[in-house]
Amino acid sequence: MFGQMMQQPLLISSLLVHAERHHGEQQIVSRRVEGDIHRYTYRDLASRARRMAKALAALGVTPGQRVGTLAWNGYRHMELYYAVSGSGAVLHTVNPRLHPDQIAYIADHAEDQVIFFDMTFLPLIQAVAGRTKAVKHYVAMTDRAHLPADHKVPGLLCYEDLLDAQDDRYEWPSFDENTASSLCYTSGTTGNPKGVLYSHRSTVLHTMAGALPDALGCSAADVVLPVVPMFHVNSWGIVYIAPMTGAKLVLPGAGLDGKSLYELFESEGVTLSAGVPTVWQGLLAYVDANGLKFSTMRRSAIGGSACPPAMIRRFLEVYGVRVIHAWGMTEMSPIGTAASFKSKHPGQTLDERLAVMSTQGRALYGVDMKIVDESGNELPWDGKASGDLLVRGPWIIASYFKNEGGDPLRDGWFPTGDVAKIDADGYMIITDRSKDVIKSGGEWIGSIDLENIAMAHPAVAMAACVAAFHPKWDERPLLVVVKKPGVEVTREELLAFYDGKIAKWWTPDDVVFVDAIPLGATGKMQKNKLRDSLKDYKLPTA
């Protein structure tokens, strides 16, 4: 027997329709790349998103086609989120910190029909534009007054011109909730970046769970400022959570330095924020140096990399801000766990509570997780046994875009590449990483790419790139090299060899020369052993 309830697809457009109807006067405040502060409401957002949906159709974008963005957190980016996905096309947010070669690869792989970009990224677009085969139009996210006459992008279109040509009489179409809605590439796995393709259903379910009190805990009474970029997994869902809850939204644009962020926190009364640990270091350094306090901020979600317990303590003791330490992945939409209390915790000592807050947290409803040993046997949740962390659920990847890399699942579970232990209360702690990657300031650096470049140097017999601890960036790449016999090469020569081949910030911080790199039975480099042998090594930049 079936239940007798309405069948209504879970669509992203419904979040905006709800925000317009119930929170129409709520504000969205953006620091524009033009330099000023822009203010409007959810009602304005909804109207302009409808006009943009019509503009996309006029450009020839049809349902299922991909539309790329290279943009900061701002209101025009929000409009694209809803116009593209709401009309049945797929929003592809591109990370502008990638090298132009990677951006061109990703845009072609995704077959982006149109790419919208903030003016900051004009030089990047000029470097990419001639190299992509798929892209038919480039649109500058600005008005005509801010469009430089001497740009070098053939046929460049202007965002506000596209909007001016349309009215807002548009009905969001209804379609299957499993329709693809947005696409994010991740370099968090080896080889070329792979696309993670979200659906309307996965997104709406993630939105509902992400807003719950034990996750971000976002409500209509909040003022939320996502420092985490919209090109990092939809700013961890906040682009959807804010309209669903009716929270005031504050978008910081390119102003991610401590001073610019602090000014917005205070002037807009921000109560809730989210970002990677590196960003908070910058913000706290500014606040400390100037003897300031947060007058309204109460909670801040920190994730993407492990948040140092000292930062959690400092936020709580000095600033009265509760850190919500969260863990997730691009492949998980991204939120998997959040470190929220259970009813027994408020009575505990500060140290005990800080220990709970420092874990990566408990699984949200909708995320099933387990830890397994090398043979795949499930390990106990005793806070001691640690093993490969596997997850499954309705907002977790089933396969990469275009089935790149084959079936990623193991018996229906997604192997995260993280190694973890879980205690009897379900709190998970990441203890290590089995995947071969480096995460610097919340951004991936592909160790394989760095090794391949080093191996192309005539003096290098074998090269391995591993993550070395850095107090600011959490991890920085360290190149470990075995030289060919009788050939000389210096650290400086090897580092200079990276020039122009990768994004500058990917360049290793140092080179260590060794006699041999440990190899396993199949001839694979044993990075774990290598990392162990380097545990006393300190980066010169640290």
Of 68-127, binders to ligand AMP (CB under 6 A) are none
Q: How many residues of this chain interact with ligand AMP, rule: CB under 6 A?
A: 21
Strands 112-117 and 137-140: parallel
Rank residues 329 and 367 by Cβ distance to ligand AMP and give the closer one: 329
Of 181, 103, 197, nearest in space to 404 by CA: 197
Q: Is 245 a catalytic residue?
A: no
418 counts as binding ligand AMP under rule CB under 6 A: yes
Stretch that binds ligand AMP, among 41-49, 327-335, 395-403, 507-515 (CB under 6 A): 327-335
Asked if 481 and 497 count as a contact pair (C-beta separation under 8 A), the reply is: no
509 counts as binding ligand AMP under rule CB under 6 A: no
Q: Is 62 a catalytic residue?
A: no
Q: Is 327 a catalytic residue?
A: no
Rank residues 74 and 275 by Cβ distance to ligand AMP and give the closer one: 275
Rounded least distance, CB 186 to ligand AMP, Å:
5
Rounded least distance, CB 393 to ligand AMP, Å:
15
Number of other residues whose CB lies within 10 A of the CB of residue 234: 28
Of 336-365, binders to ligand AMP (CB under 6 A) are 360
Rounded least distance, CB 64 to ligand AMP, Å:
24
Asked if 326 and 340 count as a contact pair (C-beta separation under 8 A), the reply is: no
Rank residues 117 and 444 by Cβ distance to ligand AMP and give the closer one: 444
For the stretch 156-165, contacts whose Cβ atoms lie closer than 8 Å and that sit 24 or more positions apart, written own/partner, are 157/59, 159/76, 159/116, 162/52, 162/55, 162/58, 162/59, 163/48, 163/51, 163/52, 163/55, 165/55, 165/58
Q: E strands, 298-436, where?
A: 299-302, 322-328, 335-338, 362-363, 368-372, 386-392, 414-422, 428-433
Site string for ligand AMP, 281-320 (x = CB under 6 A): ----------------------xxxx--------------
Burial zone of 489 (CB within 10 Å; 0-12 exposed, 13-18 middle, 19+ buried)? middle
How many residues in total does the chain contain? 542
329 counts as binding ligand AMP under rule CB under 6 A: yes
Rounded least distance, CB 27 to ligand AMP, Å:
29
186 counts as binding ligand AMP under rule CB under 6 A: yes
Asked if 387 and 410 count as a contact pair (C-beta separation under 8 A), the reply is: no
Which one of the listed residues 72, 280, 444, 506 is annotated catalytic?
A: 444
Number of other residues whose CB lies within 10 A of the CB of residue 469: 14
Instruction: Out of 47, 416, 440, 447, point to the residue binding ligand AMP (CB under 6 A).
Output: 416
- Beta-carbon contacts of 383 under 8 Å, excluding residues fewer than 6 positions away, are 421, 422, 423, 424, 429
Residue number, nearest CB to ligand AMP: 330
Rank residues 29 and 438 by Cβ distance to ligand AMP and give the closer one: 438
185 counts as binding ligand AMP under rule CB under 6 A: no
Which one of the listed residues 331, 443, 451, 475 is annotated catalytic?
A: 331
DSSP for 335-349, please give it. EEEE----TTSTTS-
d(C-alpha 244, C-alpha 264), whole Å: 23
Asked if 149 and 158 count as a contact pair (C-beta separation under 8 A), the reply is: no
Stretch that binds ligand AMP, among 33-41, 44-52, 370-378, 411-419 (CB under 6 A): 411-419
Instruction: Out of 248, 433, 470, 531, point to the residue binding ligand AMP (CB under 6 A).
Output: 433
Rounded least distance, CB 195 to ligand AMP, Å:
12
Asked if 415 and 388 count as a contact pair (C-beta separation under 8 A), the reply is: yes
Q: Is 120 a catalytic residue?
A: no
Of 229-248, binders to ligand AMP (CB under 6 A) are 233
Of 240, 210, 468, 196, nearest in space to 361 by CA: 210
Which one of the listed residues 54, 194, 421, 439 is annotated catalytic?
A: 439
- Beta-carbon contacts of 475 under 8 Å, excluding residues fewer than 6 positions away, are 305, 438, 439, 440, 467, 468, 469
Residues marked active site are found at 186, 331, 439, 444
The residues that touch ligand AMP, with contacts defined as CB under 6 A, are: 186, 188, 233, 303-306, 325-327, 329-330, 334, 360, 416-418, 430, 433, 439, 444
